[in-house]
Amino acid sequence: MTQPACIDDFEHLAKARLPKAAWDYYASGANDMETLQDNCEAFRRYRVRPRVLRDVSRIDTASDFLGFPASCPIGIAPSAMQCMAHPDGERATSQAVAQFQSCMILSTYSTTPLEEVVKPTNASYWFQLYLYQNRPVSADLIRRAERAGYRALVLTVDTPQVGRRLPDARNVFKLPKPWRLANFPKEFQILTASERAAAGRVNQGEMDELTNESLGNRSDTTLTWVECIPWLRQVTSLPIILKGILTQEDALLAVKHGCDGIIVSNHGGRQLDSVSASIDALPEVVAAVKGRLEVYVDGGIRRGSDVFKALALGAKGVFIGRPALWGLGYNGQQGVEEVLKILHDELRLTMALAGCRSIAEINPGCLCKSKFVPAKL
């Protein structure tokens, strides 16, 4: 391959470059990976209804994330441990987003300290949070994010425990040296169950319980609406976005508790396997929210036409997870830039061919559903 021409090309190129355990960690979904597969398939069940003869000589993809201007409505979802993909890791992703002028959400489990990721540009940086039983640890992360210039907090709500990803279990995955979870001090680093046992922190009888902790799962499993959102509100004045909502019921609770946004997401099929594809959950969330907060979506976006479909179904913007990791794994900052550019170009072309000149012109009438899903060639 002389030049990657679509997102799938980056997937193949990155797979050829990355060590197996890193590749498996990025690629995998929970259990049978039904949701992972459906995230992409579901887009293919929608068809575009194009309008013609509408002067598409100028296509404007300008958009915004929570009011912060962006070149287009495609941002980067938070994904952990990016230095495994490329030594420049989160810094490279950040540079690419700065060039592209969109939005990057940095994972709590970044392998670069959060202070070193934000660039002085017009791009938006949001910080993804997991809340810990040890609340001062969380409050400290929030303070640091505020000081560093992050413009919103993204609370991930679909991960009270980490989903079971079989390739990681088989590989006994752990973050390889020299990388570390750079937002935390040493005593917070991810240990595998066997390392803990070796360090005398657990006895053999506790090993089973700890297998689910091999990804550093120290999240607070007791979180509830009535406790955690008010706690966050009292700690910070940054906008609060909930990531991992899939139902109208929870969308209404997000409105009721005064959240500023929702990311409809199933964590890229890595958490509860067999939940709906994100794009299939989007319409009920959009309908429930009725414009009272911003609704974004992530999961399975591999084409500009997927972005178009998400916007037509009411998303304010989309986030990509694995495609950015593939670009990063293939060629660092430049790879991420190329991934963003390809999606942007594909979105522009879809808009032109569908007769939409601006993001505002993309609407539910641009789509219909089809039961027929052609086999992938």
Ligand X SMILES: O=C(O)C(=O)c1ccccc1
Give me the residues that bind ligand X (CB under 6 A), please.
80, 109, 159, 162, 215-217, 267, 270
Smallest separation (angstroms) from ligand FMN to the CB of 318: 9
Q: CB-side exposure of 254: number of CA atoms within 13 Å?
A: 33
| Residue of 35, 39, 61, 94 that binds ligand FMN (CB under 6 A) | 39
Binding of residue 304 to ligand FMN (CB under 6 A): no
Smallest separation (angstroms) from ligand X to the CB of 207: 19
Nearer to ligand FMN by Cβ, of 24 and 60: the residue is 24
Stretch binding ligand FMN (CB under 6 A), from 92-100, 175-183, 294-302, 366-374: 294-302
Core vs surface per residue 171-198: b (16+ CB within 10 A) or e: bebbbeeeebbbbbeeeeebbbbeebbe
Chosen from ligand X, ligand FMN, none, partner binding at 322 (C-beta under 5 to 8 Å by type): ligand FMN
| Residue of 18, 22, 77, 98 that binds ligand FMN (CB under 6 A) | 77
Binding of residue 192 to ligand FMN (CB under 6 A): no
Smallest separation (angstroms) from ligand X to the CB of 290: 30
Chosen from ligand X, ligand FMN, none, partner binding at 82 (C-beta under 5 to 8 Å by type): none
Looking up tokens 């959240």, which residue turns up? Answer: 259
Query: Is residue 267 flagged as an active site residue?
Result: yes
Chain residue at closest Cβ approach to ligand FMN: 321
Binding of residue 118 to ligand FMN (CB under 6 A): no
Binding of residue 243 to ligand FMN (CB under 6 A): yes
What does the angle CA 114 – CA 167 – CA 242 come to, to the nearest 5 degrees? 40
Q: Which residues pair with 5 in a beta bridge?
A: none
124 secondary structure, DSSP code = E
Peptide bond into 50 cis (omega under 30): no
Residue 265: closest CA among 296, 303, 291: 296
Nearer to ligand X by Cβ, of 162 and 259: the residue is 162
Smallest separation (angstroms) from ligand X to the CB of 114: 15
Residue 26, both tokens: 């990025």
Rounded to whole angstroms, what are the CA distances from 103 to 191, 206, 245?
31, 42, 20
CB atoms within 10 A of CB 157: 21
Rounded Cα distance, 104 and 110, in Å: 12
Stretch binding ligand FMN (CB under 6 A), from 71-79, 92-100, 351-359, 363-371: 71-79
Query: SS3 for 261?
Result: strand
Which of 12, 86, 257, 267 is labelled catalytic?
267
Rounded to whole angstroms, what are the CA distances from 313 to 72, 102, 321?
17, 21, 20
Rounded Cα distance, 32 and 23, in Å: 17
Binding of residue 79 to ligand FMN (CB under 6 A): yes
Binding of residue 174 to ligand FMN (CB under 6 A): no
Smallest separation (angstroms) from ligand X to the CB of 363: 33
Rounded Cα distance, 346 and 341, in Å: 8
- 131 phi/psi in degrees, rounded to 5: -95, 140
Report whether 82 belongs to an annotated binding site: no
Chosen from ligand FMN, ligand X, none, partner binding at 303 (C-beta under 5 to 8 Å by type): none
Report whether 165 belongs to an annotated binding site: yes
Task: Classify the phi-psi angles of 75: left when phi > 0, otherwise alpha if psi is within -120 to 50, otherwise beta.
Answer: beta
Rounded Cα distance, 25 and 320, in Å: 16
Nearer to ligand FMN by Cβ, of 297 and 362: the residue is 297
Binding of residue 271 to ligand FMN (CB under 6 A): no
Report whether 180 belongs to an annotated binding site: no
Chosen from ligand FMN, ligand X, none, partner binding at 215 (C-beta under 5 to 8 Å by type): ligand X
Binding of residue 78 to ligand FMN (CB under 6 A): yes
Stretch binding ligand FMN (CB under 6 A), from 77-85, 187-195, 327-335, 361-369: 77-85
Rounded Cα distance, 72 and 103, in Å: 9
Nearer to ligand X by Cβ, of 78 and 304: the residue is 78
As annotated, the active-site residues are: 267
What is the contact surface with ligand FMN in residues (CB under 6 A)? 25-26, 39, 77-80, 107, 109, 128, 156, 243, 265, 267-268, 270, 298-301, 320-322
